[in-house]
C-alpha cells in the first residue's frame, strides 16, 4: 500500500470504529469501501488491500463485493457525480432531454468524467423522488423538478467551481470524497441544514388540513 503514515493511521482508527458497529466484522465491508472512496475518490487497489487486511479477507473477495455495487467507482472519478434519472417516470417527464443536453454540455457520456476531473456523469435508476420528477442527483443530494435550463446552469456552476445547493439537502453539495465519508457512517454536522420536506411531500397533509380532516374523522 502507498498510503502515507498519517493517512493510514487515520484510516485504521476509522476502520476500527466502523468494525465496532457490527457483531460480525465482515458487515463493515460496505462502509469501509465508502471510507476508502472518501480518501482516494474511488475503490483503489490500495483501498481494496486495506479493506482485505482490516477484515481478514482476500483482495479477490473484496473486489468481488466492490464490483457488485454501482456506487463504488472502479477508476478515479469526478469531484461531483452528476446523475440524471432516466428511469421511466423521470425519462418521460423530461429526463431523457435533460440527460441529452447535460451530456452534450459536459462532452462526456455515461460513467465518464470531464477532462478537468470536476464532473462524472451518470444515468441514474429511480432515486425515490418520483413526485419531484424530473430529478437530478449531485453526489447523492436531491435536485428536484429540473428543466434543461436549470440542469445546464447546475453543471455550469460546478464546472466554474461555484458551490451548488440542492433542493432538499445541505446548504451546499459536499465533494464526492466528503459524501463518501458520510456514507461510511461518519456524521458531518449538516443534518440540520435544508428542509424537512418538499412541496409534494406535504401535498396530502396540506389537503387534509384544508379539508379539516382529522384522524378521528378519517377513522370513521
Query: Please, which of residues 51-70 interact with another protein by CB under 8 A?
Result: 55, 64-65, 68-70
Closest CB to another protein among residues 16, 64? 64
User: Is residue 92 within the footprint of another protein (CB under 8 A)?
Assistant: yes
Q: How far is the CB of 206 from another protein (least distance, A)?
A: 7
**Parallel/antiparallel/unpaired status of strands 80-85 and 119-124:** parallel
User: Is residue 16 within the footprint of another protein (CB under 8 A)?
Assistant: no
- Which of these segments, 7-15, 89-97, 153-161, binds another protein (CB under 8 A)? 89-97
Q: Which x/- pattern over 122-161 shows residues binding another protein (rule: CB under 8 A)?
A: -xxxxxxxxxxxx--x-xxxx--x-xx-------------
Q: Is 122 helix (H, G, I), strand (E, B) or coil?
A: strand
User: Is residue 177 within the footprint of another protein (CB under 8 A)?
Assistant: no
Give the whole-angstrom CA distance, residue 220 versus residue 207.
18
Name 209's Cβ contacts closer than 8 Å, sequence gap at least 6: none
C-alpha cell at 210: 384544508
Give the whole-angstrom CA distance, residue 106 versus residue 134.
19
Q: How far is the CB of 57 from another protein (least distance, A)?
A: 8
The DSSP output letter for 64 is H
DSSP secondary structure string for all residues of 162-173: -----SBS-SSP
Q: Which x/- pattern over 105-124 shows residues binding another protein (rule: CB under 8 A)?
A: ----xx------------xx
Task: Name the residue among 86, 87, 10 with its Cα closest to residue 50.
Answer: 10
Closest CB to another protein among residues 125, 156? 125
User: Is residue 78 within the footprint of another protein (CB under 8 A)?
Assistant: no
**Number of residues located near another protein, criterion CB under 8 A:** 90
Amino acid at each position: 500500500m502507498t498510503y502515507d503514515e498519517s493517512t493510514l493511521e487515520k484510516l485504521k482508527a476509522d476502520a476500527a470504529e466502523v468494525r465496532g458497529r457490527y457483531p460480525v466484522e465482515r458487515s463493515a465491508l460496505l462502509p469501509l469501501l465508502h471510507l476508502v472512496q472518501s480518501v482516494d475518490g474511488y475503490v483503489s487497489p490500495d483501498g481494496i488491500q486495506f479493506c482485505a487486511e482490516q477484515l481478514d479477507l482476500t483482495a479477490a473477495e473484496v473486489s468481488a463485493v466492490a464490483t457488485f455495487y454501482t456506487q463504488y467507482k472502479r477508476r478515479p472519478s469526478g469531484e461531483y457525480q452528476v446523475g440524471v434519472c432516466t428511469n421511466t417516470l423521470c425519462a418521460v417527464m423530461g429526463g431523457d432531454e435533460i440527460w441529452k443536453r447535460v451530456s452534450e454540455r459536459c462532452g462526456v457520456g455515461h460513467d465518464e468524467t470531464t477532462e478537468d476531473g470536476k464532473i462524472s456523469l451518470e444515468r441514474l435508476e429511480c432515486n425515490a423522488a418520483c413526485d419531484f420528477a424530473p430529478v437530478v442527483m449531485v453526489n447523492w443530494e436531491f435536485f428536484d423538478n429540473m428543466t434543461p435550463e436549470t440542469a445546464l446552469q447546475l453543471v455550469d456552476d460546478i464546472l466554474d467551481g461555484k458551490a451548488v445547493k440542492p433542493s432538499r439537502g445541505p446548504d451546499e453539495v459536499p465533494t464526492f470524497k466528503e459524501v463518501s465519508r458520510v456514507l461510511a457512517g461518519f456524521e458531518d454536522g449538516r443534518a440540520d441544514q435544508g428542509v424537512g420536506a418538499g412541496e409534494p411531500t406535504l401535498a396530502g397533509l396540506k389537503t387534509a388540513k384544508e379539508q379539516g380532516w382529522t384522524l378521528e374523522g378519517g377513522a370513521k
